[in-house]
Amino acid sequence: MRRVRSFSPVVFGRRLLTTAGWTALLLAAVVAGRAAAHAQEPPANYIDKFEQRLSAAADSGDFVGLAVAVVDGGEIALLKTYGETVSGGDESVSAATVFRLASVSKGFSATLVGQLAEEGRLSWGDPITDYQPKFKLKSTTATQAVTLENIASHRVGLPRNAYDGYLESGESVERILERTASVDLVCKPGDCYNYQNISYSLLADAVEKVEGRAFGDSMKQRIFTPLGMDTASVGLDELTSSPSWARPHSRRRSSSPWRSFAPNENYYKVAAAGGLNASILDMVQWTRAQLGYAPDVVDQELRDTVQSARVDTPYEYRKLRWMRGRLKDTDYALGWRVYDYSGERLVTHAGGVAGYRAVVALLPERDLGFAVLWNSTSGRGWRIMPELLDAYLGLDSDDWLGVDEILAAAAGETVQGSP
């Protein structure tokens, strides 16, 4: 992990709304929100502290390529890339290198549906069968009860990750949908949370029926292009035709070398759930939009809609027990997770598909955004988010990235409790 690129902070101008009254109202809300957010300022050196620990982790051998961005107050506070697009290769990861987003795609899809809902072209309460009549559950009553909102918040009633295994074995989505009618539900639609990919992908059917064009085209025209996400795309062909794209990697054990392999197309078949690609520069623009800096694309009402918790997610809380000291609550909104992280509302989503990992996170009340992309199965990457949050919030470090001893050795010191 020797290749490192740093970028200076950049200030982006805000787009103006076409209606002066709305512009004044939105700007007033932004000013009030920013003032409240900075009532408790983060430590002045939080970026320096985070960057030092991040760089130590990047040099640990646990990553092939890594890209990280922090957006604070609408500005890029940190943008760094490390490593290579392919292990042993000569192409460094750059700010324009494209990675797979996996399930981080879900927030984009919910936002796209939300745009159409604001325009009155569909409603979150519409039955999914209005757009995909092949979808069936075990009873007609249950089938008709599944709405777009239920889909986007994983309240379909199916068991967790229903039929993902068939998708991963190469079966078509159409064939998988024929199987759902035989599955015993774990609850009534709308009553409980169980994470899904197959059913979540049906949001693309709603978009395509309303828009009369491919889901990827709508995503490009309605979100990517207006936000300036110039290297973002949907689909495997679009990934591999990017001027710079990160190859996926895995290894048998932590001591084994990283090995690249061909990207798997299975989850591209469920594009709304996991079919998007983006660079870290694209994710900067996405993060800014979700913080309110592109109100002509993602306005306040839409952000409130997709970022507001709909359902408790007890399984997620149990899965994240390694963060139990910080997490107080875990919920799901529409394409976003909502956590209580040490008393702060954290809006986030992670994604993982063969050889790729991604995380995006927001502290909306603090006007802070964060994104990380990496092209390996390294588990250390998941711990970058709490490392940043602790630095920003001035919390005592839990050494999430496991770099205390590395940094101490570099400084000629000894970590308490180490030999």
**Residues contacting residue 389 through CB under 8 Å, at least 6 positions apart:** 326, 341, 342, 344, 346, 361, 363, 395
State the pTM of this model.
Answer: 0.89
For domain 4-88+239-253+277-410, give the fold. Beta-lactamase (3.40.710)
- Residue 22 CB coordination number (10 Å): 15
**Cross-strand bridge partners of residue 119:** none
Q: How far apart are CA 194 and CA 180, in angstroms?
A: 14
List strand residue ranges (DSSP E) for 60-212, in order: 65-72, 75-83, 98-100
pLDDT in tens, the chain (419 residues): 534 444 433 333 333 344 344 434 444 444 444 444 444 799 999 999 999 999 999 999 999 999 999 999 999 999 999 999 999 999 999 999 999 999 999 999 999 999 999 999 999 999 999 999 999 999 999 999 999 999 999 999 999 999 999 999 999 999 999 999 999 999 999 999 999 999 999 999 999 999 999 999 999 999 999 999 999 999 999 999 999 999 999 999 988 999 999 999 999 999 999 999 999 999 999 999 999 999 999 999 999 999 999 999 998 999 998 998 899 999 999 999 999 999 999 999 999 999 999 999 999 999 999 999 999 999 999 999 999 999 999 999 899 999 998 888 777 765 454 43
**Cross-strand bridge partners of residue 71:** 76, 369
Give the sheet arrangement for strand 337-341, strand by strand. 4-6, 75-83, 65-72, 368-374, 356-363, 344-353, 337-341, 327-332, 311-312
**Residues contacting residue 177 through CB under 8 Å, at least 6 positions apart:** 132, 134, 135, 136, 198
User: Between 384-393 and 46-58, two packed helices, what is the crossing angle to 10 degrees?
Assistant: 160
- The confidence score (pLDDT) of residue 382 equals 96
Q: So where are the chain's domains?
A: 4-88+239-253+277-410
> Would you call 324 exposed, middle or buried from its count of C-beta atoms within 10 A (0-12, 13-18, 19+)?
exposed
C-beta of residue 76 within 8 angstroms of C-beta of residue 70: yes
Q: How far apart are CA 286 and CA 264, in angstroms?
A: 25
C-beta of residue 177 within 8 angstroms of C-beta of residue 138: no
Which one, of 188, 134, 194, 132, lies nearest residue 162 by Cα? 194
Q: How far apart are CA 217 and CA 211, in angstroms?
A: 10
Length reported for the chain: 419
**Residues contacting residue 146 through CB under 8 Å, at least 6 positions apart:** 127, 128, 129, 135, 137, 156, 157, 189, 199
C-beta of residue 26 within 8 angstroms of C-beta of residue 293: no
330 φ, ψ (degrees, to nearest 5): -135, 125
